[in-house]
Amino acid sequence: MQNPRILLIEDTDSVREVLTRQLEVLGASVTALADGDQVKRELDKTRYDLVIADLHLPNCSGFDIARFANAKNCKVILLSGDTQAATRDDFLTAQFDQVLLKPVTLQNLKNMLLKHGLISNDDPIIANTNLDRTDSKAAINLRALEEQMGHLDDVALQMLARFPEMMRPLVQKISDPAAKHDQKDLEYITHSLKSAARSAGAMILGDMVERVQEQAMRDIYDRAQIDALLTEFARVEIELNELCKGKVAIS
């Protein structure tokens, strides 16, 4: 199949942009939505070969989207950070065709499209050869970044240049002292920031946000952990700005 039509629903802007780029690199035609409001209408008016949806979305859950897609005989893939998702009863009964764990590498995404017969090119993904990936303590893990985005061409770097701006509002919300009084909101914000950080190759920041998320689920707000997260975000900004130097961010 050439240029499969894919409907992508992901509420975190940076993750949505990375996934859109990944799918387009692999030859897909992508319609990307930020929430579930328009999903049913979109499926009613357009025939899609595949739906890819996050589980936690505003106004509509991944389970709702699976039901809409199944009604149209359209395959549906769930995006999840839950390593046990594929074996949980509620996921199995929702009739997802597959679960992809975040962050999604370009090769894993390609393997999924091949598995479902949506592309035929099974050539391996070729990474850059001119990048130094030896610093394990770097804020930006270049190997992880390449695994997700493939070749870091000008378009990829222009997109990455926007990431600090896109993540900053989430970081500010987490650092706001008022956040500790709204556990559910803090859980949602950390879920979004964790995905955004890992999409930018900021794996250390993503792990730190995950710890804050786990604490929020236990109604714990650790100011020292938040401060360490802010320091790490500053490192991410510096390294992304250096990596993307001279590239104008795509608006």
| CATH number, residue 62 | 3.40.50.2300
pLDDT of residue 249: 53
Kindly state whether residues 151 and 95 are assigned to the same domain.
Answer: no
pLDDT of residue 29: 96
Kindly state whether residues 28 and 73 are assigned to the same domain.
Answer: yes
132 lies in some domain: no
pLDDT band for position 212 (cuts 50, 70, 90): very high
120 lies in some domain: no
Of the two residues 199 and 247, the one the predictor is more confident about is 199
The structural domain count of the chain equals 2
pLDDT of residue 129: 45
Indicate if the pLDDT at residue 66 is higher than 70: yes
124 lies in some domain: no
Query: Which two tokens mark 34?
Result: 């930020």
Please say which residue of 100, 115, 130 terminates a domain.
Answer: 115
Q: Which domain holds residue 174?
A: 142-243
Kindly state whether residues 35 and 94 are assigned to the same domain.
Answer: yes
Indicate if the pLDDT at residue 28 is higher than 50: yes
- Dump pLDDT digits (tens) for 102-159: 889 898 999 999 999 999 877 656 555 455 555 678 999 998 888 888 888 888 888 8
Kindly state whether residues 109 and 11 are assigned to the same domain.
Answer: yes
Indicate if the pLDDT at residue 40 is higher than 60: yes
185 lies in some domain: yes
